[in-house]
Amino acid sequence: MINLILFGPPGSGKGTQAANLVQHYNLYHISTGDMFRSEIGNKTELGLLAKSYMDKGELVPDEVTVNMLRKRVEDNPQVKGFIFDGFPRTVAQAQALDAMLEDMGQPITALLELKVPAEELIVRLMNRAKTSGRADDADANVIKNRIQVYRENTAPVAEYYDQKDKTKAVHGVGEVAQITQNLIDALDAAIAESNAA
Ligand code: AMP
């Protein structure tokens, strides 16, 4: 089983790249952001709650997010592995994920961190706003807040997995196909390392 965390700031290309990696490795893609947007679309109680945080660029509380994620993992026992996209976003979420995967005997294989400069992120998100229909892409202050929250709460997750020798940085600027290849090279190396261990 391969369990990949696709990591990086808002606008770093996680969603696009997750779609490419899913095809290459035949994994199951879980995006907590997509799950929350689907709940919002269905006007559920969870959606209403999530929206109140997402519209401001804040994180949805850990407990709510972890419970939703846990259910999605448990509902898919037959898959070859997961790509976690946009999760974990706090060290507490990472600890909860590790405990969950440990129970299944299937630890995280690697965290691949897409490296993209901050100026480029803002340009990409403002462009994405033209087609994504996402309220949180359309407002420059909300974008700034999301990047700030990433720095303060989410970046420590890469350090957390680095202490377990699982974090690999990947160059995230340039052609989409080249970035996919960079990710495949990094993940293949991590798989080889975990098989050798
Ligand atoms: P994303 O689609 O990954 O950019 O997520 C959009 C928004 O959904 C974020 O700005 C958060 O408000 C919320 N969200 C998504 N994933 C998480 C998570 N793992 N923890 C907390 N909030 C999240």
What's this model's pTM, rounded to 2 decimal places?
A: 0.96
Active site residue 14: yes
* Tens-digit pLDDT profile for residues 94-121: 999 999 999 999 999 999 999 999 899 9
According to DSSP, residue 29 is labeled: E
User: Is residue 134 among the annotated active site residues?
Assistant: yes
Of the listed 37, 51, 89, 166, which one is catalytic? 89
Note if 80 is an active site residue.
no
Atom of ligand 1 nearest to the CA of 36: 8
| Residues 168-195: tens digit of each pLDDT | 999 999 999 999 999 999 999 999 998 8
Burial 159-187 (b: 16+ CB within 10 A, else e): ebbeeeebbbbbebeeeeeebbebbbebb
Question: Which ligand 1 atom lies nearest to the CA of residue 32?
Answer: 16
Ligand 1 proximity of 172 Cβ (cutoff 6 Å) = no
Q: Report the alpha-carbon distance of residue 194 to residue 6 in Å, rounded.
A: 17
Rounded to the nearest 10°, the torsion over CA 37, 132, 140, 120 is 110
56 is catalytic: no
- pLDDT reported for residue 40: 97
* Closest atom, ligand 1, to C-alpha of 93: 19
Phi, psi of 172 (to 5 degrees): -110, 20
The 10s digit of each residue's pLDDT in 39-79 is: 999 999 999 999 999 999 999 999 999 999 999 999 999 99
Looking at residue 194, its pLDDT comes to: 86
Residue spans of beta strands (DSSP E) within the chain = 2-7, 28-31, 81-85, 110-115, 167-171
Number of helices and strands in the chain (H, E): 10, 5
Q: Is the CB of 96 under 6 A from ligand 1?
A: no
